[in-house]
Amino acid sequence: MKRAYLLDMDGVIYREDQLIEGASRLITLLLERNIPFLFVTNNSAPTPNDLAVKMAHLGTKGLSSRHFYTSALNTADFLREMHPVCTAFALGEGGLTHALQEARIPNDSISPHYVVVGEGSPSSEKITKAHELIEKGARLVATNPDCWCPVSAHKTRPGAGALTAYLETSTGQRAYYLGKPNPYMFSRAAKRLLGAKSPVREVVMIGDTMETDIRGAIEIGMQAYLVLSGSTALEDLRNYVYQPTRVLENVADLVKEIESGQHCDRLSSPTFRSLAPATHSRQKKRYSTA
Ligand SMILES: [Mg+2]
């Protein structure tokens, strides 16, 4: 069976609106060779169309909305499957409201089944409204658990996970988190890519974040390739119980492998399992993958 790829975006394909080495060639190669692939992102703010436009502006060719699966789509899929006639009050951007509309989940600010929190900066009035609706019985759902998201190399913003934690605290209700690393994100993405009956072990997840991209893939039985072009440095690997299947400098390594048909094994994770335990001198920030 032909291998299929799930690709994270920020830190894998681009950083700060610049394509990472090998990204453009990889996309061209996957399209030319008809290799199944899907971009999976925890960023619930953009629609798939928005992402296709962004990628075109960055210089890629041939991508359309069908190549993107966001945590907003994943959340809409989940709610539709769990509760086909539900309604929702959404705190989020266009990507979330569009996904809920596409799944025929009506917006409800009176008595919704769910309050759904996505990426964005809602007004204090909307946050208060969400609090009231949860107190009245709505269930709290988040599109993704990221507490912060990168804005630039040295700047971050609060993520959906942070706002959800706020509502968890104010209402005492625990939220359910979709997006990576929830296995539902990976299983749904694989289903879109290959159909319901395909084995997930033939799918490779390529990501730069251990807590989400790599953890989720490993737990569901996919292969997990870590790239060092984003949020994780090689020495960080010793901080984790789980390890990626392979480690690549960036997606250019994968391009070489696909072009040559030869295994490109510049780095491999077993080497790093023997690294000494980390000291406690570094404070790790809670994660982001957006
Ligand atoms: Mg990332």
Percent of the chain at pLDDT exceeding 70 = 90
Q: Give the pLDDT confidence of 118-157 residue by residue, as tens digits.
A: 999 999 999 999 999 999 999 999 999 999 887 777 888 8
CA distance 219 to 56: 33
C-alpha 229 – ligand 1 centre gap (Å): 9
C-alpha 210 – ligand 1 centre gap (Å): 9
Return the axis-axis angle of helices 124-135 and 160-171, rounded to nearest 10°: 50
Mean pLDDT of 15-26: 94
Residues that place a CB less than 5 A from ion ligand 1 = 8, 10-11, 208, 289
Mean pLDDT of 161-185: 98
Give 196-227 as a 3 state SS string: CCCCHHHEEEEECCHHHHHHHHHHHCCEEEEE
C-alpha 188 – ligand 1 centre gap (Å): 19
CA distance 35 to 27: 10
According to DSSP H, which parts of 33-159 are helical?
A: 48-58, 71-82, 94-102, 124-135
Residue 207's DSSP bridge partners are 226
Q: What is the pLDDT of residue 266?
A: 57
Q: What is the pLDDT of residue 281?
A: 38
C-alpha 141 – ligand 1 centre gap (Å): 22
Among residues 8, 50, 146, 213, which one is catalytic?
Answer: 8
- Identify the band that residue 285 occupies on the pLDDT scale cut at 50, 70 and 90: low
Q: Can you give the pTM of this predicted structure?
A: 0.90
Q: What is the pLDDT of residue 273?
A: 47
Mean pLDDT of 195-222: 92
Give Cα separations from 36 to 6, 31, 46, 129 (angstroms): 9, 8, 22, 42
- Identify the band that residue 249 occupies on the pLDDT scale cut at 50, 70 and 90: very high
* Cα-to-chain-centroid distance, residue 194: 19
CA distance 227 to 220: 19
pLDDT of residue 275 exceeding 80 = no
Mean pLDDT of 177-188: 97
Mean pLDDT of 241-265: 89
pLDDT of residue 2 exceeding 70 = no
C-alpha 135 – ligand 1 centre gap (Å): 34
| Between residues 65 and 268, the one the model is more confident about | 65
The candidate with the shortest Cα–Cα distance to 38, out of 275, 164, 205, is 205
The answer to which of 6-10, 27-31, 58-62, 263-267 has the lowest mean pLDDT is 263-267
Active site residue 213: no
Q: What is the pLDDT of residue 108?
A: 98
C-alpha 56 – ligand 1 centre gap (Å): 19
- Identify the band that residue 51 occupies on the pLDDT scale cut at 50, 70 and 90: very high
Mean pLDDT of 164-179: 98
Phi, psi angle pair for 239, to nearest 5°: -85, -5
Ordered domains of the chain (ranges, CATH): 71-177 (3.40.50.1000)
- CB-based contact 244:267 (threshold 8 Å): no
Active site residue 8: yes
Q: Give the pLDDT confidence of 55-91 residue by residue, as tens digits.
A: 999 999 999 999 999 999 999 999 999 999 999 999 9
